[in-house]
Structure 1
Amino acid sequence: MQKILSIRLRQGGLSFYASDGDGAGTVSMEAYFAPGGSRREQMTAAFDAFAVKSGIDTYDRVRLFADTADTVFVPDAVVGDTVPAEWLARMGVPLSPDMKAVRTEAYGGVCALFPVDTGVVSWLADRLGHRAAWYSPLHESMAAFRRTEASGDCFVVYPTQENVYISRYGTAGELSLAEVYPLHGAADMVYYLSELAAGERNISLYIYGDRPVRYTDTLKRYFGRVAAI
């Protein structure tokens, strides 16, 4: 059985989630970055602490997720061999000297591009090497949508601790929109969806993630069909 580690990077910290491939034997941990500290040293300390907690120090596969509103979603066929930093600049995403532009693996024909702290990127490359592949939380919600029987024109909404990933699917199940926005509360989500739905109150909304209950009741006041997946 493959040992799989997922690392989710977010503003100010990261989280670890390990499993044996079929969802059994899972263990997780949250870690936070201290302001002004070395990213490499803090990543090493967090990884070593998780190894002690999980009892696992080597993995067959590592999935890296960057949870950031500075993400650009682009069809894989369109990105081609374009340098990620050029795409981010084209889309108006700033890239400071201490950040590196990262391009994810393609999933469902969609790549994500986003800036990541250079210290974090170099540490991950040195420590994890070829076993690690980058993804976006959007790819998680895309996979969840494929696993369900949801169909027709709908939105899939994935709220994380800091952002909300919104995708829209057409009647044939094709992805027609993918966006990410900062999330401070349910009112933000209602606003984003109202703008994207352009007044379509009866469109189906599917909420993915570990916190759908927090938003379901509020969304039902504004949209006719809301369900968790």
Structure 2
Amino acid sequence: MEREDDDLAAVAALVGFLRAEALTDRLAAVEEELVGRSGAAGAEAAADRGLTGEMLAAALTVRSQVGRLSDVIHACTIALALPHILEPGEQIAVRPSLGAGNDPSRPFDLETDRRVAEFKAAQWNGSDSWRQRTLLSDLVHLAMDESGRRAQLYVVGPRPARYLRTTRSSVGRVLARASERTRERVAARFDLSMTIAEFTAGPAAHVELIDLARWLPQLAELGAVAPPDVD
């Protein structure tokens, strides 16, 4: 009964969040407000618009029961991670990509004056072929950045990093379903016959693989649940 009450409370919190303002408008507003802020100030601005730890926990709970809430989880994850990952004086340089999906004008989820980063908030559960492809795609994307800034790939739990460091499948094989343009860009820079492990230890060795669960226990607590994919 207590679990049922908690689930209902989570649903109520999430429904209130989504009804109060169109999610696209809310995320756009937060994205604009984050530019030029430090980590702590950015998290405060996001919290003022409802992107809090409580909202992340509520969204994860509802997703485990009734469906996908990718954008809310992705946005909360990035907003809540900011105070932990941004250094003193570091500022967000470009409007971040809080919603799941790709925007050609914003190639990375987060760009600051010191780093570029991608975030993967999915908890892997053993049936992860789609997650593997998108994870590798983000790693390749980060490895291709030539800005000289730190490159970081944030994941949940040990499985994503283990996959990248130990898999013997070739980069080309896993990226076979990527767009032709993406494959051409990658092939122009890297040997697609390399294994994923070789690529991770070689051309992508400078990309840091970081577990978000160290800072966001909401992600770790539901790690045993098999939720839909989130990017």
TM-score by length of 1: 0.31
Task: Name the structure with the higher helix share.
Answer: 2
Higher relative contact order (CA 8 A, sep 6+): 2
